[in-house]
Amino acid sequence: MSDIISLDYGSGGKKTSALIEKMIVPLLQNDVLSELGDSALVEGAPKLSFSTDSFVVSPCFFPGGNIGKLSVCGTVNDVAMGGGIPKYLSLSFIIEEGFEVEQLEKIIQSIGETAKKAGVSIVTGDTKVVERGRGDGIYINTAGIGFVKHDGLSPKKIQEGDVVLLSGTAGDHGAAVMLARNSNLVQGNLTSDCAPLNKIAEALMDLGSDLRVLRDPTRGGVATTLCEFIEGTNLSIELKEDDIPVAPGVRSACDILGLDPLYCACEGKLLAVVHPDRAEEALKIIKSFPEGENGAIIGTVTAAHAGRLVLKTSFGGSRVLTKLTGAQLPRIC
């Protein structure tokens, strides 16, 4: 830890992990928090999946969505990845003095539409206003409660031979937001993939214990999420570069901006690890949803390189992928 907080600490990568594991968790010690999932399973009948995220995306309107839509999708997806069927959301605004009411109304409209699409209700909330120069337009926090359908999802359940699926193209959200920030670049038709994933997740949960883990690869992207799955274990994940769907526009934008789509955030895609015998069935389930039409099997779990994520490149080589270092994409969500 350094003495002051730098942007890296919000990257979702190594420094964020350090802050959480070296300071937050030790000071707030309890068994549920120590699991460090994006959502927590707590007692209740049925058990509850509970999650929260604050959204600080810049700009707050971007192709394919805005901070309001994102704030519903992000928390709905975290609750769903935790094995829950999302039901209720809280909604809290921190608005900078001078923000246009018309923009706020559009954002709240998106929140309402997205909540309806996801089948969740916004049931409680809060509004704070800070002085001009003490915020950046609008920040939103949502927290979500779901009733648990599958209480066994965990990276710890991953076994040798398991298969890794991605429900669509990688990096759309990250690339769209970064391009939106660079107004001098051609926007093309690149849009964020921002979408609720709870219906796909619920369907995949019917695979029972053959479904090992679900996760939406947001900050840090597909590569960072997969690294987190296997770090500290004896397992490795081998990805085939040619099998990972990436939209042509995202590939071009990443080339221009010097980014890697595997580290760019998705906001409407999930990673699923399943028993090899159920991989084709899982893919069929994913593809049966409009948001999953580009779903693919992208890799397998092996015992070859303990704790490592290995990319088999198009050119026949191998590259080890590590967790995101530094703030490649600050304020992406």
Site for a copy of itself in 5-64 (CB under 8 A): 5-11, 16, 19-20, 23-24, 27-30, 32-33, 37-40, 42-46, 48, 50-56
Q: Which is nearer to a copy of itself, 69 or 331 (CB)?
A: 331
# binding residues, a copy of itself (CB under 8 A): 84
Q: Which is nearer to a copy of itself, 30 or 189 (CB)?
A: 30
Q: How far is the CB of 309 from a copy of itself (least distance, A)?
A: 23
Q: Is 90 in the site for a copy of itself (CB under 8 A)?
A: yes
Judged by CB under 8 A, the residue of 59, 61, 63, 88 near a copy of itself is: 88
Grouping H, G, I as helix, E, B as strand and the rest as coil, residue 134 is coil
Q: Which is nearer to a copy of itself, 90 or 302 (CB)?
A: 90
Site for a copy of itself in 109-168 (CB under 8 A): 109, 111-112, 115, 121-131, 133-136, 139, 141, 143, 145, 147
Judged by CB under 8 A, the residue of 70, 80, 95, 158 near a copy of itself is: 95
Grouping H, G, I as helix, E, B as strand and the rest as coil, residue 93 is strand
Q: Which is nearer to a copy of itself, 46 or 307 (CB)?
A: 46
Q: Give the C-alpha separation, 74 to 58, whole Å.
A: 15
Q: Give the C-alpha separation, 250 to 4, whole Å.
A: 34
CB-based contacts of 259, cutoff 8 Å, min separation 6: 171, 174, 175, 178, 253, 328, 329
Q: Give the C-alpha separation, 38 to 250, whole Å.
A: 26
Work out whether strand 211-215 and strand 271-274 pair parallel, antiparallel, or are unpaired: antiparallel
Tokens of 58: 């810049």
- Asked whether the beta carbons of 264 and 254 are under 8 A apart, the reply is yes
Site for a copy of itself in 310-329 (CB under 8 A): 327
Site for a copy of itself in 223-242 (CB under 8 A): none
Tokens of 279: 């991989």
